[in-house]
Each structure stands twice: as structure tokens, then as C-alpha cells.
Amino acid sequence: MTISAVSNEFPESDTLIPRFREAGDVTLDLFHRDGRVDDRWIGFHPREFELLWRLAEQPGERMTRKQLLADVWRIHFEPETNSVAVHVARVRSKLEAFGLSGLLETHPDGGYLLKASPGPSSYRLDGRS
């Protein structure tokens, strides 16, 4: 499918879904639904990957527990579990093996953020990054 065909099929969108997303020194791969540092795979479970993928979409910006539940878990109510905190801890634990556990921060006002600079995107249809 060409870019013009994509533009005609989805006229309101100027962004394609990227296969890769950078999260600091971690490269997230949507196809494999895992992350890697250099040539070593991390071994994320699906929700762990989705959590980091979502935070990497807006690095440096706080996401509340409620936002993460809606975007990652696709639920719009407050469950009686600490599922978000548990998944954050699991991601940090896996990143610790690479010395990167500080990549995922807890915000002082609640919620979480990815402590990484946003990188340029090559997935915009109009050439803007």
C-alpha cells in the first residue's frame, strides 16, 4: 500500500502505526511485542509491553493510573487491584538487568512517566517529525 493509498483510506490520519518505538536505550518492537537493548531481548509479557509502549508514546509526560487503565487495560473504572503498580514493578525489574530501572518513574502527584527524550518519528505521512 502506498502512502497516497493510506491517505485516501484514512484521510483524517497523518500518522502510520510504527513498528518500533524508542524508550530511552530500549527499542520496543510492536511485531515481536517485546523490547530489546542492543541485541538482547528483554522478555516482556503482553501487558508489560503495552504499558511501556503507551508511556513511550509520550515520553516525559505523566500518565495517571486511570489513563493507563483506560489505554492499556481498556477498562474505565477503578478496579480493587494494584495491577498497574504490579506491572510497573515487573517492567522495572526486567529493565534492572540492563541498568535501566530508572527509565520508568513514579510521578510525585501519582501516575507514571517514561524518563526519556522523545525521538524523531519517521512515520508521519507529510514528512514532519
- Determine if the pTM surpasses 0.75: yes
CATH of domain 17-114: 1.10.10.10
Query: Which residues does 21 contact at the CB level (< 8 Å), separation at least 6?
Result: 27, 28, 30, 53, 56, 57
Kindly list the domain boundaries of the chain, sorted by start residue: 17-114
Please state, in angstroms and rounded to a whole number, the distance separating the CA atoms of residues 24 and 92: 13
- Reference 90, options 58, 51, 60; nearest CA is 51
pLDDT in tens, 32-52: 999 999 999 999 999 999 999
pLDDT in tens, 56-72: 999 999 999 999 999 99
